[in-house]
Structure 1
Amino acid sequence: MTKIKRWISFFLIPLAFACTKTGSLSPTPGTSPLVTAAGAPAGTAVTKTIGVNGGAITSTDGNISITIPAGALADNQEITIQPVVNKLPAAYGNAYRLTPHEIKFLKPVTIRFRYNEDSIKNTVPELLGIAYQDQTGKWFNAAEAALDKEHRTLSVSATHFSDWGFFPYFYIDPSEALVDPGAQLDLRVMATVPEDYGDIPQPDGSPLMQPYQPGSEYFGAWNYVGGGSLEGQGNKAHYQAPNAVPTINPEAVSVAVKMKRKGQFLLVSNITIRTEFHIDYMQVDETEVHAGGLDYPSRLWIYGSFGEDPGKSKRAVKINNVAVIVAFWTPGVIACDIPTLGPSSSGMVEVLSGKTSAQKLLNEWLVDMYYNKVESPGGALTKKVNLVLRFRGDAEGFFKQGQVPMVDETNLNKNCAGIINMSAGSYTSHTTMDGCGDYTVTWDAIHELRVDRKKNTEAGGLSGSVVNKPGGFDIKIRFIAEDVLMSHRKFVDCHSGGSNNHVPEAIEIQGFHETIIPLRFSQSDAKASIKAGEMPLQTGTGVASGLYFDVTDYVPANFTTRLYWGEARPKYE
């Protein structure tokens, strides 16, 4: 299938235009500073030790780097970059947690972000700023960012660490849209600077604003050349698509932003008119239903433009050339009942209506995820679970403007499972204070114990939820296997006596229940892999039941919980 990439163009037109500066930085009524929760980890962290001679560190995705000059540090220091979910307006890629937060550099360091056309598709580079978040959740403008358009970077000097990201001062919403012929769409321009904003960039430490629609005086004319119509004034416009697919598709709508400095800036939104027959995106609901008159193992939702249902005799949906059941057909969405396993559970999807057809690849991935919980020094007592997780989905594209997901979240695929493989282990601790004596815990081995997937509504076993996201899946995992680990607990008193108990224990995934685990594709491509990743290591996560330590002997770093996964290649490469 030919892959078409839609580009959104941005234009900077220098004009002899100037406005008088205003010194006020206070937000007007109706605007308020931006305060958000801290972003959850969204990728693999990187750590490097840098000393007095300086050095540099770059994130694993290459989108942020830190350059530390000689003399900025008085001693060796571990520097970490952790990608996190971006809570800034427009959410350009990830934000980044730079640690340690409490560090104060003796000289300014350089923080450099890399951007590309896709990541700033609703503004222009000249309207980008860099921001950081404090411990209360408030976002602040950093110092003036240096823009390098040739290398597509934004750089700023700083003497402290926190959570950092880049954002637009003004942006158009939506930046792109996919609509049917004759459809209508409202557009607006949003701002993150105070209404009476003075210069851009804002001074270092000034608050970032909640996105709002600024006054109409900051905008020039709206412009559109196409077969439809546009009514625009100030910060908003109303677009009506042509009744037929235009020759130039997508169509461009633009508005001029009047800056309080020389120049005029055009924000551009590209609006694509749906072709007569096309698949945009596919989503699998892995929740089997056998009630209420419905009976299917899983359901495939196909989003696109298909026209009215021509009738059963004139339409079909096939996966790997095998016809599947069409539950219903609408111009924008088709639902099909598909098996959870077998040749027609994933593969090339073909939608046919009369002599018209469209194809798209529904791929499949098998992710090996590993849980290790160390409950004794040295790791002799370590609970281990291998989660074998199967996912089906569309790695190329996502929902378009105006498309509403039919499923917000789904269960794990029915063929997911947890496998417990643990060697026998033993550890003895000695206490001299309360309960003086030797405490020995011995675990029996567990070999190839399979724990099957259950629905979220069912107790025990492996369960969880999956949410389709741009570029991958967000998942949540719950796992508990009751009474599968035989634990032998022996106590020998310092003076006399003791006890010897044999207790069955549960094995469960602790520390990550209801935590979002981000699985991300290697690229936007039908045959992309799911990238390897790891959740932040947890320390001090608990001692094996039956072991005791004097306070002076307890070292939290000896007790860790780790959750990580390897790269998953697609079934169809």
Structure 2
Amino acid sequence: MPAGAIAANTQFSVEPISNTLPGSPGIAYRLRPEGVKFAKPLTLQFTYNDADLDSTNEEALFMAYQSNDGIWRMIPKTQLDITQKKLTVQTDHFSDWAPYAMFWLTALKDAVKPKETTSLVIHTTENFLLADLTKNEVEIAKEKVLESAENVKNWKLTGAGKLVPDAKPFLANYTAPEKVPNPNPVTVSVEVHNFIPPGKIPGRGATGKAILFKKIRIYDDTYFYGTNGGVEYNTLQHWFFEEDGEEVMLIGGFTGTIAHIGLYLPKASGPGTYRMNMQGMVYIEDFSQAGKLLYNTVYTHCISGDDINAAGSIEIEKVETVNGVKYITGNFSVGMFKFTSCSPPVKQVTGQFRVRDRRSY
């Protein structure tokens, strides 16, 4: 903080929160105190990783904040350092901050069975291409598809299967091969052109092109994969859930030093979104191969004794019974605390899963 930015001694804090920003590839943070106007601008810096770029491109990344009126606003003058993977802005206030992608690519299903088809769509926010990027900030409107044909080019598939671009430029359909391929997942990419006029934003728009990527996994029965602190993990094992009198426990495996992760939900949880809440038994644990608890979505502050919950949620997309076997499909994105100090560091963990009843094995 620059000298003279604030007159009195002030306590500052940074807290991970649930991210409500459309087109945001990372976790959001609440910077406090809110509502304080600094006499000199402060520098905020966000570090992204390769996992944050699954669906978007670093050329499309900016920082954004949410004000008290609930509106998110992006900062066109966000400085991008591709080498260091950093986004930097100057601000005279604290609030909720998150990275924002001008464009991102989504799949109706991130995981499909052999011969199954899924659709891919390019998203942006309403009227974004008409925004005046010379302003200090631009309001982020509601999410929409990118309908401008002149901005979309060159749908491409890397891997097995078939990709067919639709007559609508923002849409393509992918069909998986007859059996699970190797390598797996496959990658779909598409180019977005001319979204920043040259010279409008220093260091931006020099090429006028961003390539969006989306990975699609092909599976036979169950799966459990995602990112762990920005590093991709995947397991080829079959994973399961089990129920007792109070909760549902979903187990997934990690590669490397992490053996498995456990997701805990109230018993008989149906489709819906479940926020991190220890009282509601919605939490995640991350264990080492020796069975030692490394990370959790909740920790007890060593001085105040308060339970602190990380930002994030588990989404149950589908609960189904196939040939007499019960399956649960969903995803999660959470911040997780490491038990090292009063203010433990937080890492981001994401996952996609389809698990079956353990009793069926």
Kept after mapping to 2: 8 A contact 1:258/1:264: yes
What residue is the counterpart of 2:185 in the other structure?
Answer: 250
Q: 1:74 to 1:146 in 2, by over 3 A?
A: same
Q: CA deviation at 1:175?
A: 9.7
What residue is the counterpart of 1:208 in the other structure?
Answer: 140
2:288, 2:83 → 1: CA distance?
24
What residue is the counterpart of 2:241 in the other structure?
Answer: 283
2:289, 2:102 → 1: CA distance?
28
Matched residues, number: 281
Q: 1:98 aligns with which of 9, 15, 31?
A: 31
* Aligned-partner residue type, residue 268 of structure 1: F
What residue is the counterpart of 1:533 in the other structure?
Answer: 299
What residue is the counterpart of 1:269 in the other structure?
Answer: 214
* Aligned-partner residue type, residue 204 of structure 1: N
Kept after mapping to 1: 8 A contact 2:160/2:186: no
Kept after mapping to 2: 8 A contact 1:409/1:467: no
Q: Deviations over 1:400-438 (max 9, x none)?
A: xxxxxxxx9424xxxxxxxxxxxxxxxxxxxxxxxxxxx
* 1:147 aligned counterpart, secondary structure: strand
* 1:87 aligned counterpart, secondary structure: coil
Kept after mapping to 2: 8 A contact 1:175/1:269: no
* 2:146 aligned counterpart, secondary structure: coil
Kept after mapping to 2: 8 A contact 1:466/1:475: no
Q: 2:306 aligns with which of 562, 570, 573?
A: 562
What residue is the counterpart of 1:395 in the other structure?
Answer: 261
Q: 1:78 to 1:567 in 2, by over 3 A?
A: closer
Q: 2:266 aligns with which of 385, 410, 416?
A: 410
Q: 1:82 to 1:243 in 2, by over 3 A?
A: same
Q: CA deviation at 1:88?
A: 1.4
What residue is the counterpart of 1:308 in the other structure?
Answer: none
Q: CA deviation at 1:157?
A: 0.3
Identity score, percent: 26
Is 1:235 aligned to 2:193, yes or no?
no
Q: Deviations over 1:36-80 (max 9, x none)?
A: xxxxxxxxxxxxxxxxxxxxxxxxxxxxxxxx1122122322222
1:127, 1:299 → 2: CA distance?
39
RMSD: 4.1
Q: Which has the larger radius of gyration?
A: 1
For structure 2, the 5+ residue unaligned runs are 198-206, 223-235, 310-336, 341-361
Q: How does 1:416-495 map to 2 (within 5 A)?
A: 474-477=276-279
1:524, 1:101 → 2: CA distance?
42
Q: 1:73 to 1:213 in 2, by over 3 A?
A: same
What residue is the counterpart of 1:129 in the other structure?
Answer: 62
* 1:160 aligned counterpart, secondary structure: coil
For structure 1, the 5+ residue unaligned runs are 1-67, 289-297, 304-359, 362-392, 399-407, 412-455, 457-464, 478-513, 538-559
Kept after mapping to 2: 8 A contact 1:279/1:302: no
2:113, 2:95 → 1: CA distance?
44
* 1:257 aligned counterpart, secondary structure: strand
TM-score w.r.t. the length of structure 2 is: 0.65
Q: Deviations over 1:507-534 (max 9, x none)?
A: xxxxxxx7x9765648999865234624
Kept after mapping to 2: 8 A contact 1:93/1:119: yes
* 1:530 aligned counterpart, secondary structure: strand
2:171, 2:106 → 1: CA distance?
9
1:243, 1:466 → 2: CA distance?
31
Q: CA deviation at 1:210?
A: 1.6
Q: CA deviation at 1:204?
A: 2.6
TM-score w.r.t. the length of structure 1 is: 0.42
1:525, 1:190 → 2: CA distance?
43
Q: How does 1:289-368 map to 2 (within 5 A)?
A: none
Q: 1:518 to 1:158 in 2, by over 3 A?
A: farther
